C-alpha cells in the first residue's frame, strides 16, 4: 500500500501548510479558538494530509471532537502520522526553539485507550530519525513528554514535581492522539517544539504570542526535518 502521511501541526507551526504543492482544502471549522483545517497536497511528490489546529480537553470538548483529526486521518487513508506540538521545556539542557522527538510519555489526563505503549516509541524509528536529523545538521533533542489538562501554565510546585520525575517537556495535547492512532493501526511519531522554558525561579509568565514566535524561530529546522521524514519509511 502506498504511504500517505498525515501531519498534525501544533501552535506556531501552521506555516508548513504553505509548503504543499497542489493544496486542496478538505475541511474547515472556525468555531473554536484553534481554527481547524484539513488540507491535502504533496511534499516532494509524496501524498500528505495536513491537520492545522486541534481541540483540547480544557476547552470542554468530547473525546470524539478531541480525536477528530485522527479519525479524519483514518478515513482519508493515512497510514502514518506525525504529531507535533508546542511544549514547555523542563530539561535544563533545552532551549527555546529546540525540537524534541518524543521517546516516551506521561499521561496525566483521564483519557486512555487500550494501546500497546511499547510499540509507540520504536528504537529503530528513533534511530532512523536521529540519522535524518544528523544528515540535515539539525540539533534534535529526545525525551519524555507530559500531557496535562491545562488551560493554565504550570505552577512552580508542578514544575518542581515534573522535573523530579524526569519529564523533559510538557504540554496539553498529543498523548491522546498518539494512543488513539496506535489503536487504529496508524504508525505514529511525535515532535515537540520547545516554545518556552519552565523554571521554579522564573518570574516571567509565558503568553500565546511568545509560543507562536518560538514556532517561527524553529521553522527552518522543523520544515527540513519533516520533509526528510516524509521521504523516509517508518
Q: How many CB atoms lie within 10 A of CB 60?
A: 8
Long-range contacts of 26-34 (CB under 8 A, 24+ apart): 26/72, 26/76, 27/72, 32/59, 32/61, 33/59
pLDDT above 60 for 118? no
pLDDT digits (tens, 9 = 90+) for 70-95: 999 999 999 999 999 999 999 999 99
Closest CA to 69 of 171, 151, 186: 186
Rounded CA gap, 70 and 27, in Å?
14
Contacts of residue 25, Cβ cutoff 8 Å, sequence gap at least 6: 37, 38, 39
CA dist., res. 55 & res. 66, Å (int) = 5
Average pLDDT over residues 157-176: 93
Q: Are 18 and 8 within 8 A, CB to CB?
A: no
Pure H helices in the chain: 63-66, 68-75, 123-135, 156-165, 175-183, 208-217, 219-230
Position 102 pLDDT exceeds 80: yes
Judge whether residue 50 has pLDDT over 80. yes
Q: What is the pLDDT of residues 183-197, one digit of tens each?
A: 999 999 999 999 888
Question: What is the percent of the chain with per-residue pLDDT over 70, rounded to a whole number?
Answer: 88
> Is the pLDDT assigned to residue 113 strictly greater than 90?
no
Length of the chain: 234
Neighbours of 113 (CB within 10 A): 14
Looking only at the bridges linking them, the beta strands covering 36-43 and 46-52 are: antiparallel
Q: What is the CATH number of domain 5-230?
A: 3.40.50.1580
What is the C-alpha end-to-end distance of the chain, expressed in Å?
A: 14
Residue with cell 487504529: 184
**Alpha carbon separation from 17 to 182, 191, 223 (Å, rounded):** 25, 17, 10
Q: Residues with Cβ < 8 Å from 112, sequence gap 6 or more? A: 179
**How many helices (DSSP H) and strands (DSSP E) are in the chain?**
7, 9
Locate the domains of the chain by residue range.
Answer: 5-230
Distance CA 132, CA 138 (A): 9
What is residue 207's predicted lDDT score, i.e. its pLDDT? 59
pLDDT at residue 25, rounded to an integer: 96
Residue 63's contacts (CB-CB under 8 Å, 6 or more residues apart) are: 111, 176
Give, as one character, the DSSP assignment of residue 204: P
Residue 137 has pLDDT above 80, yes or no: yes
Q: What is the 3-state secondary structure (H, E, C) of 38-84?
A: EEEEEECCEEEEEEECCCCHHHCCCHHHHCHHHHHHHHCCCCEEEEE
Q: What is the mean pLDDT of residues 141-150?
A: 93
- Give the pLDDT mean for 146-163: 86
Largest interatomic CA distance in the chain: 52
Is 204 a residue whose pLDDT tops 60?
no
Amino acid at each position: 500500500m502506498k504511504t500517505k502521511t498525515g501531519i498534525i501541526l501544533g501552535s506556531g507551526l501552521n506555516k508548513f501548510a504553505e509548503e504543499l504543492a497542489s493544496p486542496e482544502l478538505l475541511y474547515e471549522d472556525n468555531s473554536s479558538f484553534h481554527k481547524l483545517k484539513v488540507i491535502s497536497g504533496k511534499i516532494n511528490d509524496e501524498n500528505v494530509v495536513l491537520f492545522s489546529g486541534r481541540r483540547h480537553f480544557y476547552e470542554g470538548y468530547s473525546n470524539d471532537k478531541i480525536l477528530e483529526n485522527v479519525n479524519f486521518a483514518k478515513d482519508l487513508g493515512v497510514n502514518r502520522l506525525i504529531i507535533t506540538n508546542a511544549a514547555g521545556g523542563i530539561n535544563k539542557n533545552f532551549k527555546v526553539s529546540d525540537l524534541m522527538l518524543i521517546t516516551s510519555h506521561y499521561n496525566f489526563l483521564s483519557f486512555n485507550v487500550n494501546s500497546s505503549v511499547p510499540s509507540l516509541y520504536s528504537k529503530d524509528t528513533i534511530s532512523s530519525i536521529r540519522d535524518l536529523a544528523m544528515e540535515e545538521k539539525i540539533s534534535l533533542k529526545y525525551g519524555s513528554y507530559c500531557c496535562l489538562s491545562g488551560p493554565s501554565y504550570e505552577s512552580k510546585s508542578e514544575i518542581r514535581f515534573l522535573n523530579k520525575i524526569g519529564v523533559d517537556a510538557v504540554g496539553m495535547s498529543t498523548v491522546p492522539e498518539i494512543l488513539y492512532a496506535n489503536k487504529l493501526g496508524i504508525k505514529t511519531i511525535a515532535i515537540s517544539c520547545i516554545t518556552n522554558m519552565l523554571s521554579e525561579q522564573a518570574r516571567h509568565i509565558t503568553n500565546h504570542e511568545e509560543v507562536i514566535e518560538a514556532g517561527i524561530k524553529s521553522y527552518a529546522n522543523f520544515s527540513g526535518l519533516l520533509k526528510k521524514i516524509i521521504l523516509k519509511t517508518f
